[in-house]
Chains A and B, each alone.
Chain A
Amino acid sequence: MTEVIFNEDGQPVLRGARDPQSGEYYFPFRPLTADGTLRACEETLLSTEGILYTWTRFAGRFYGQIDLPEAVRIQTELGDGPHDIGATYRLTADRTDDKIDWRFERVWRCFRDFGRCGAGA
């Protein structure tokens, strides 16, 4: 099941699903709604930026949960730190052969992040 695809601009996007009746979103994509009524979901592309809900470091890697505007929570690897709950994170991905490695990386915006400027500034 492909969780992340690249759009026509070459940017990574999350492949999700939407319940056309309730408007509820899901990740990853699922063909049927989660309420057990066997209704079909619409395939949809989810937001690529969200807010860090929590994070930790284990065995040299960072992991976090990102809340997207669609009320979907993504469990994922994070890029390098520092990390702060409440900060904004963006989806990034690398494509090698037939494999896509994706993660969320912190977005630094000068006016918000005390002078650190970088991606997203």
Chain B
Amino acid sequence: MSGDVFVISGGAVPVHNKYPLGSGRVVARDAGLAALRDAGVNYADMDALYCGVAMPTSPAAVLVGKEFGLTGIPVVQVSNASASGLAAIHAAVDAMQAGRADLVLVIGYDVPTNLDNPIAAQGYLPPPALFGMWAQRRMYDHGTTPETLARIAAKNINYARDIPFASRRPDQPVSAEDVLASRPVADPLTALMCTQWVYGAAAIVLATRRGLDRLPQAPAIVARIEATEFQSEVIGPHHIIEGAIVGPADISRTATEAALRRAGRGRDEIDCVQIHDAFAIEELVYYETLGFAPEGGADALVAQGAFGPGSRARFGLPEFSTDGGLIGRGHPGGPTGVFQAIETLRRFRTTDDQVGLCHMLGAGSTCLAQVYGRVAL
């Protein structure tokens, strides 16, 4: 990829649904300040602000920018439903590689002004129903059991226990039985297999090599964005064109393959994967769609503990959703992709992980896949 772009810092506010409606500017500001302070820079040092915003009544990016200062830099709002955060990072990388910016603040935020359901307002069926249907078909085709889904959800919630800003942080480890016993939502999905309706904000600072030279002190470990791939759905047989929040699984495969090709990486080099796991069925299918398990083969791997702690050593497979993912850490919309980048940087700084993959879908119709590599400066 021409022109290195690095994630040099991250900051976030807790993920929950208790933020007062209409407080998005303050919530976004707090996350942005945390990322700027983590990098040891001011907003005045930034060449651009990119914001990932999913909900239509969250504040406009230009208003959020004013919270930090009125410094004349471009303020760009990117909206791609759930993929808004990764899409904002993608757009920032494009600008930086074009030479337009060397230090960029990227904030993903969503706190709406009312409780209207933006998904229903667009005529979509309720997402839990769509993913419940996906799970039912999986059970029909491959004999997947609710227990398998519960194991994935429990893994993710238990990862989230160590994440200070996660929305689910139970005092005690959660078992698959606990997940199965939670409130039924859309058969076979139970409440703990589903992401919650939450709000929040997360921010990162991106730097080119010229941007690194402008820092008072460069951090020891950064994450280089080796590839960012952005695709939308392609028409195919039995294609659900409208309201397909679930979306075709193929788009995840093609976007990920393209990102790996662009990064010059093989799947066997991936140490951690931050995946679009709004519902446990998604993560199960994506193990296979992204090429980490054969079709129909992921269930057996999950039963043995693959894709969780120690997965690399025991199975040669990456750990998935290491900050809890959308189920454990939460899915506040725009911030989610930025949380994925923050978690990837955290893994690089606190574990032996060298290569990370981030993946998000937007309304099932767009997909972003990004490959990150650990760099010691």
Which single member of A26, A56, A57, A64 contacts B241 (CB below 8 Å)? Answer: A26
B241 close to A27 (CB less than 8 A): yes
Contacts of A28 in B (CB 8 A): 241-242
Q: Which of B237-271 contact A (CB under 8 A)?
A: 237-244
A54 close to B241 (CB less than 8 A): no
Q: A56-B133, A56-B187, A58-B132 are in contact. Are A75 and B244 (CB under 8 A)?
A: yes
Q: A75-B243, A85-B136, A85-B137 are in contact. Are A56 and B129 (CB under 8 A)?
A: yes
Q: Which of A43-77 contact B (CB under 8 A)?
A: 53-59, 61, 63-65, 67, 71-73, 75, 77
Chain B CB within 10 Å, residue with most, of A28, A30, A56, A61: A56
A67 close to B129 (CB less than 8 A): no
A58 close to B185 (CB less than 8 A): yes
Q: Which of A8-40 contact B (CB under 8 A)?
A: 24, 26-28, 30, 34-35
Q: How many residues of B contact A (CB 8 A)?
A: 25
B136 close to A55 (CB less than 8 A): yes
Contacts of B187 in A (CB 8 A): 56-57
Q: How many residues of A contact B (CB 8 A)?
A: 25
Q: In the complex the two chains form, what is the Cα distance from A55 to B186 in whole Å?
A: 10
A63 close to B238 (CB less than 8 A): no
Contacts of B241 in A (CB 8 A): 26-28, 30, 34
Which single member of A30, A75, A85 contacts B140 (CB below 8 Å)? Answer: A85
Residue interface mask B41-83, A partner, CB < 8 A = 1: 0000000000000000000000000000000000000000000
Q: In the complex the two chains form, what is the Cα distance from A65 to B187 in whole Å?
A: 15
Interface set of B (CB-CB < 8 Å, partner A):
125-126, 128-130, 132-137, 140, 185-187, 189, 235, 237-244
Among all A-B residue pairs, the 7 with the closest Cβ atoms? A56-B132, A54-B137, A58-B186, A73-B238, A58-B129, A34-B235, A63-B129
25 examples of A-B residue contacts, CB within 8 angstroms: A26-B241, A27-B241, A28-B241, A34-B235, A34-B241, A56-B132, A56-B133, A56-B136, A56-B186, A57-B132, A57-B186, A57-B187, A58-B128, A58-B132, A59-B126, A61-B129, A63-B125, A63-B126, A63-B132, A65-B133, A65-B240, A72-B238, A73-B239, A73-B240, A77-B125
Interface set of A (CB-CB < 8 Å, partner B):
24, 26-28, 30, 34-35, 53-59, 61, 63-65, 67, 71-73, 75, 77, 85
